Structure 1
Amino acid sequence: MRKWRNAVVTAAWVAVGTAAGALGAWQLASSDGAGGAAHSRPLDEAAVRAALTASTPTPTPPSASAPPSPSSTPPSVDRSTVRFTGGSATVECRADGTVRLVSWSPADGFHIDDDVERGPAAVARLEAEPGDDDDQPDLPYEIRCADGTPRAKVVPDTDDD
């Protein structure tokens, strides 16, 4: 009787585990990705641009009686991505020749130091640091815009540590 009881209990556990697994697989397969499903794919640069364009609100035109204020006119901006050994950054190259870091992301095995000089300025700066490899040097970068195109260049490390 005891062997039979153990077999029934084991079969019940297996059935419950199988049902739970099947339910989880069904839920993932039928998900539309709106809730951030585990199988959703990252967006490529073109898809990100399209999503940003679609989500950008249309500005309300100024009334005819009031002239637009100079501060309400945004400068001409060209946004693009620059890639470098320690990662990548989304950069705005502005009409006045200045650069502004919009966002940045480290490459695998690196992290970006908290000391980011994002601009707008003639030069933006950030430093990519290797994760656990003390033998690999830090990579300080200066990012400039030349003819509307961002360029990242490694510069000498000025840290005293």
Structure 2
Amino acid sequence: MRKWRSAAVTAAWVAVGTAAGALGAWQLAGADSGGGAAHSRPLDEAAVREALARASPSRPPSAAPSPERSPDASPERSTVRFTGGVATAECRPDGTVRLVSWSPADGFHIDDDVERGPAAVARLEAEPGDDDEREDLAYEIRCTAQGPRARVAPTEPED
């Protein structure tokens, strides 16, 4: 009788575990409506706006935000990606840019002499790891009509 009871308890645990696994798989399958793995990559700014437009019934998806900003408007923050990392920058109403934060990509570090602004141009340099032979990557970040943009800084000729 004892063996029968042990087998019944084991079978019950296996059934509960199987049901929990099936329920979890079903929930994951239901959450993935985009055809790929849910949250497999971060959304860029355009994708976030599109998702918000679809979710907001009060604003039609074709309505674009007004490019005009009042002088007392708060700065717009945006993420800028570049080969050596990522930065969060503010485009201020006066047209200047200010780096709020930055983070290096794997295998890089950001040099300490970051020119964060506010200024017409913010600058930072992503340096590869010490054992890496790659060149340092200097970037300029400016505000454009589309928001902050990073580009490789022009190199200065060496004397």
User: TM-score with structure 1 length normalisation?
Assistant: 0.50
